[in-house]
């Protein structure tokens, strides 16, 4: 990344729905709640929006093929240039990257970015939607499920650096606690490391309370070009850099102990943002935490902790909301919930509120000027990163 | 506990977004009672082609052999085989017969099915680095030949870095599938081959 885009892009509004285990509401209705709230807080109407980006993860959750098109109405995309951004779990942050491209390119001045997920429709369990991510000839006959790959990755991470499960359980404790202050939260709770490790082993080393829940929910943001942002908002939050990267689908051929692709995506975003020393220049982080260990894994990939050292940093409080580098002050996926695409964009919403110092009970201390949001997904394969700042 | 919606009054009053969030949560009972919902079960079947490289890999398994391929450009030897090197974008056509031994790179002990039903006998999936490949190259398979069902019992016998050997189906029962290897079992003494 040598070139810098010349046109700046800001977030000027954000919205959420409740995150729930099961919503009566349809995906369209959830998307509408979040999108309309984002428009309202940006002080604009749908007719001001020139293009719409919609992120939503597998069609198999809804049993609706091409559900991006189906959800169009709820995202406010009727009669407009419309794009579905879809890279599995990475979609939430990829949606804002896609919207950023639309504005940075100079084609549009106001873009609405919506992310929706309704996992609860998929019976008997939405994990069924992931059975088909495995290679149909050399993996599926072995009967794999999604828990396998995460537990394999967590164990590899633990074995490579000598990390204990107690160290990882602390992520669940922190994030579920942080989520107590989040109005959308689905699984906020005050728990101890013992509670986490006393929960059932689903796939050792992963315990039930180290996995994010099944969720329904939506999130949305409004993006604006510099000129328009300055006219519409007194506190726009700037997208300073974006990055994304995918690693090989031959996941048994790479070292699962460290997410190289997240590092590449992070450096792309940091270079664009002029960040040379992430640990000094990033003040608040929202790394992707669908499983407890993933937050630590991603903090390392994002260059915010040394390899294998994130658990130690966590234990000494560095990533607490009041710590040196607050991580997942929202409560993350482990606390707020994990409607997949919406969970990634929820992290961007959190940075928006944190950087505007509007996060209320969740506000990190000091004057955070720059934050990073990251999402991850596919076959443990993609990192999507966005750096946001106050100037 | 984990499913409880937290409602601390103080936090709720001052946390953004400041407008009440919308949504209509259903409980399990309401959902199972089919309140405002309708059901559909899909039925589809697929016939997949194995492709140029994996076809030959599967033929090898039928003969009790694990094949890999080597890239002449980057020198990597990998398995499962592929027709082209995804890094150099050149054909990967130098076939190598690998050993049927390897090392456990990582493993898990899985006590649930995909739809979260408990398993009495856990599955032990693992990434096996196959001997004769480049470092950290392997594939997903299962570990077997292990006594006991608890995490403690199994971890006493299985660990990352452990040497393992393929346990094959009898030749007459092989069908040219990844399951021609029943599982990989711990090697106590590495003498053969």
pLDDT digits (tens, 9 = 90+) for A137-182: 999 999 999 999 999 999 999 999 999 999 999 999 999 999 999 9
Q: Which two tokens stand for residue A334?
A: 């482990």
- Each residue of A60-76: pLDDT tens digit? 999 999 999 999 999 99
Q: Is residue A197 part of a domain?
A: no
Query: What pLDDT is stored for residue A1 in this prediction?
Result: 53
> Residue B7 — pLDDT band, cuts 50, 70, 90?
very low
Query: Which residue in B2, B127, B137 is closest to A209 by CB distance?
Result: B2
Query: Which residue in A40, A141, A180 is closest to B8 by CB distance?
Result: A180
Question: CA A134 to CA A144: how far, in whole Å?
Answer: 8
Instruction: Tell me if chain A has a CB within 8 Å of the CB of B29.
Output: no
> Residue B14 — pLDDT band, cuts 50, 70, 90?
low
Q: Is residue B34 part of a domain?
A: no
Inspect the interface and report whether the beta carbons of B110 and A180 lie closer than 8 Å: no
Query: Which residue in B23, B28, B80 is closest to A25 by CB distance?
Result: B23
Q: What is the mean pLDDT of chain A?
A: 96
Residue with token string 């259903």:
B26
Q: Domain count for chain A, please give it.
A: 1
Query: What pLDDT is stored for residue A71 in this prediction?
Result: 97
Average of per-residue pLDDT across A352-369: 96
Query: What pLDDT is stored for residue B61 in this prediction?
Result: 98
Q: Is residue A22 part of a domain?
A: yes
Q: In angstroms, what CA-CA distances link A303 with A263, A265, A270, A387, B145?
A: 7, 11, 10, 13, 41
> Residue A222 — pLDDT band, cuts 50, 70, 90?
very high
Count A/B contacts: CB-CB distance under 8 Å: 226
Inspect the interface and report whether the beta carbons of B5 and A188 lie closer than 8 Å: yes
- Mapped to the 3 state alphabet, what secondary structure does B22-66 carry? CCCECCHHHHHCCCCCCCCCCCCCCCCCCHHHHHHHHHHHHCCCE
Residues comprising chain B, all counted: 193
> Residue B17 — pLDDT band, cuts 50, 70, 90?
confident
Query: What pLDDT is stored for residue A266 in this prediction?
Result: 98
Quote helix, strand, coil % in chain B, to nearest 5: 20, 30, 50
Question: CA A146 to CA A165: how far, in whole Å?
Answer: 20
Nearest chain B residue to A151 by CA: give it.
Answer: B108
3-state secondary structure of B104: strand
Chosen for mutation from A169, A206, A211, A252 (greatest number of chain B CBs closer than 10 Å) is: A252
Q: Is residue A74 part of a domain?
A: yes
Query: What pLDDT is stored for residue B66 in this prediction?
Result: 98
> Is pLDDT at B2 greater than 80 in this prediction?
no
pLDDT higher for A130 or A348?
A: A348
Query: What pLDDT is stored for residue A2 in this prediction?
Result: 60
User: Which of these, A27, A224, A231, lies nearest to A112 by C-alpha position?
Assistant: A224
Inspect the interface and report whether the beta carbons of A248 and B109 lie closer than 8 Å: no
Q: For the beta carbon of residue A196, count every other beta carbon within 10 angstroms.
A: 23
What Rg, from alpha-carbon coordinates, does chain B have?
24
Query: What pLDDT is stored for residue B3 in this prediction?
Result: 42
Question: CA A305 to CA A308: how far, in whole Å?
Answer: 8
* Cβ-Cβ contacts under 8 Å, A125 against chain B: 114-116
* Cβ-Cβ contacts under 8 Å, A136 against chain B: 46, 48
Query: What pLDDT is stored for residue A315 in this prediction?
Result: 98
Q: Is residue B113 part of a domain?
A: yes
What Rg, from alpha-carbon coordinates, does chain A have?
19
Q: Is residue B73 part of a domain?
A: yes
Instruction: Tell me if chain B has a CB within 8 Å of the CB of A274.
Output: no
Residue A106 CB contacts under 8 Å (≥ 6 apart), including other chains:
A7, A225
> Residue B28 — pLDDT band, cuts 50, 70, 90?
confident
> Is pLDDT at A33 greater than 80 in this prediction?
yes
> Residue A285 — pLDDT band, cuts 50, 70, 90?
very high
Q: Is residue A350 part of a domain?
A: yes
Residue B33 CB contacts under 8 Å (≥ 6 apart), including other chains:
none
The answer to whether A171 touches A177, Cβ cutoff 8 Å, is no
Query: What pLDDT is stored for residue B29 in this prediction?
Result: 84
Q: Is residue B175 part of a domain?
A: yes
Q: Is residue A190 part of a domain?
A: no
Instruction: Tell me if chain B has a CB within 8 Å of the CB of A187.
Output: yes
Q: Which two tokens stand for residue A277?
A: 């020393």
Average of per-residue pLDDT across B162-182: 98
Query: What pLDDT is stored for residue B189 in this prediction?
Result: 66
Average of per-residue pLDDT across B152-176: 97
The answer to whether B122 touches A247, Cβ cutoff 8 Å, is no
Average of per-residue pLDDT across A368-390: 96
Q: How far is B57 from chain A (nearest CA, A)?
A: 10
Give the whole-number percent of chain B exceeding pLDDT 90: 77
> Is pLDDT at A372 greater than 80 in this prediction?
yes
Average of per-residue pLDDT across B4-33: 70
Chosen for mutation from A42, A190, A253 (greatest number of chain B CBs closer than 10 Å) is: A253
* DSSP string across A196-256: HHHSPEEEETEEGGGBPPP-EEEEEEEEEEHHHHHHH-SS-EEEEEEEEEE--S-GGGS-T
Domain that residue A224 falls in: 9-123+213-389
User: Which of these, A382, A370, A239, lies nearest to A301 by C-alpha position?
Assistant: A382
- Each residue of B140-163: pLDDT tens digit? 999 999 999 999 999 999 999 999
Q: Is residue A151 part of a domain?
A: no
Query: What pLDDT is stored for residue B11 in this prediction?
Result: 40
Nearest chain A residue to B141 by CA: give it.
Answer: A142
Average of per-residue pLDDT across A89-95: 97
User: Which of these, B95, B84, B23, B26, lies nearest to B57 by C-alpha position?
Assistant: B95
Q: What is the mean pLDDT of chain B?
A: 90
Question: CA A344 to CA A95: how far, in whole Å?
Answer: 9
> Is pLDDT at B4 greater than 50 in this prediction?
no
Q: Which two tokens stand for residue A221?
A: 């943001």
Instruction: Tell me if chain A has a CB within 8 Å of the CB of B50.
Output: yes
Domain that residue B117 falls in: 51-186
Average of per-residue pLDDT across A340-349: 98
Q: Is the dihedral of CA A290, A323, A325, A100 positive or negative?
A: positive
Q: Is residue A177 part of a domain?
A: no
Q: Domain count for chain B, please give it.
A: 1
Question: CA A324 to CA A280: how far, in whole Å?
Answer: 10
Query: What pLDDT is stored for residue B6 in this prediction?
Result: 44
> Residue B193 — pLDDT band, cuts 50, 70, 90?
very low
Measured in Å, how far apart are chain A's first and last C-alpha atoms?
21
Burial B79-115 (b: 16+ CB within 10 A, else e): bbbbeebeeeeeebeeeeebebbbbbbbbbbbbbbbe
Dihedral angle of Cα A20, A133, A255, A289, to the nearest 10 degrees: -10
Residue A166 CB contacts under 8 Å (≥ 6 apart), including other chains:
A193, A197
> Residue B37 — pLDDT band, cuts 50, 70, 90?
confident
Average of per-residue pLDDT across A10-22: 97
Question: CA A381 to CA B128: how far, in whole Å?
Answer: 19
Q: How far is B23 from chain A (nearest CA, A)?
A: 5
Instruction: Tell me if chain B has a CB within 8 Å of the CB of A151.
Output: yes
Q: Is residue A83 part of a domain?
A: yes
């Amino acid at each position: 990344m040598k070139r810098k885009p010349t046109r700046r892009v800001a977030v000027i509004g954000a919205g959420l729905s409740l995150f729930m285990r099961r919503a009566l509401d349809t995906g369209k209705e959830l998307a509408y709640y979040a999108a309309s709230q984002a428009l309202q807080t940006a002080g604009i109407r749908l007719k001001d929006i020139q293009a719409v980006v919609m992120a939503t993860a597998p069609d198999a959750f809804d049993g609706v093929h091409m559900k991006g098109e189906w959800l169009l109405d709820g995202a406010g995309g009727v009669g407009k240039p419309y794009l579905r951004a879809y890279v599995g779990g990475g979609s939430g942050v990829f949606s804002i990257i896609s919207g950023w491209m639309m504005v940075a390119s100079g084609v549009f001045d106001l873009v609405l970015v919506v992310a929706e997920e309704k996992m609860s429709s998929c019976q008997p369990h939405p994990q069924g939607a992931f059975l088909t991510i495995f290679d149909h000839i050399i993996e599926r006959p072995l009967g794999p499920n999604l828990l396998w790959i995460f537990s394999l990755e967590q164990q590899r991470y633990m074995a490579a650096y000598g990390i204990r499960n107690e160290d990882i359980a602390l992520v669940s404790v922190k994030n579920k606690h942080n989520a107590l202050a989040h109005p959308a939260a689905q699984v906020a709770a005050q728990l101890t490391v013992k509670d986490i490790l006393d929960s059932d082993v689903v796939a050792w080393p992963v315990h039930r309370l180290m996995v994010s829940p099944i969720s329904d929910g939506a999130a949305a943001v409004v993006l604006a070009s510099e000129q328009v942002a300055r006219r519409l908002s007194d506190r726009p939050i700037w997208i300073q850099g974006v990055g994304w990267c995918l690693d090989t689908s031959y996941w048994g051929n790479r070292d699962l102990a460290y997410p190289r692709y997240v590092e590449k995506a992070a450096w792309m975003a940091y270079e664009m943002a002029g960040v040379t020393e992430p640990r000094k220049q990033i003040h608040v982080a929202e790394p992707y935490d669908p499983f407890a260990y993933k937050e630590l894994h991603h903090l390392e990939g994002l260059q915010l902790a040394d390899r294998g050292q994130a658990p130690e940093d966590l234990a000494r409080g560095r990533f607490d909301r009041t710590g040196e580098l607050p991580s997942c002050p929202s409560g993350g996926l482990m606390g707020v919930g994990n409607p997949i695409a919406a969970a990634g964009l929820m992290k961007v919403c959190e940075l928006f509120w944190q950087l505007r110092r509007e996060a209320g009970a969740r506000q990190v201390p000091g004057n955070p000027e720059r934050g990073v949001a990251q999402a991850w997904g596919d076959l443990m394969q993609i990192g999507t990163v966005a750096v946001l700042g106050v100037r | 506990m984990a499913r409880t919606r937290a409602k601390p009054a103080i936090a709720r009053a001052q946390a953004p977004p400041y407008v009440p969030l919308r949504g209509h949560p259903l409980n399990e009972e309401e959902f199972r009672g089919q309140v405002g919902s309708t059901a559909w079960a899909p039925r589809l079947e697929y016939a997949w082609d194995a492709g140029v490289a994996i076809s030959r890999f599967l033929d090898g398994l039928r003969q009790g052999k694990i094949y890999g391929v080597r890239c002449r450009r980057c020198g990597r030897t990998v398995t499962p085989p592929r027709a082209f090197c995804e890094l150099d974008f050149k054909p990967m056509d130098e076939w190598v017969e690998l050993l049927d031994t390897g090392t456990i790179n990582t493993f898990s002990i899985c006590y649930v099915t995909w739809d979260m039903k408990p398993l009495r006998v856990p599955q032990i999936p693992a990434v096996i680095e196959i001997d004769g490949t480049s470092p950290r190259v392997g594939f997903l398979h299962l570990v077997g030949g292990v006594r006991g069902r608890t995490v403690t019992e199994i971890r006493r016998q299985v660990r990352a870095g452990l040497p393992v050997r393929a346990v094959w189906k009898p030749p007459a029962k092989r069908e040219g599938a990844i399951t021609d290897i029943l599982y990989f079992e711990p090697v106590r003494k590495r003498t053969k081959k």
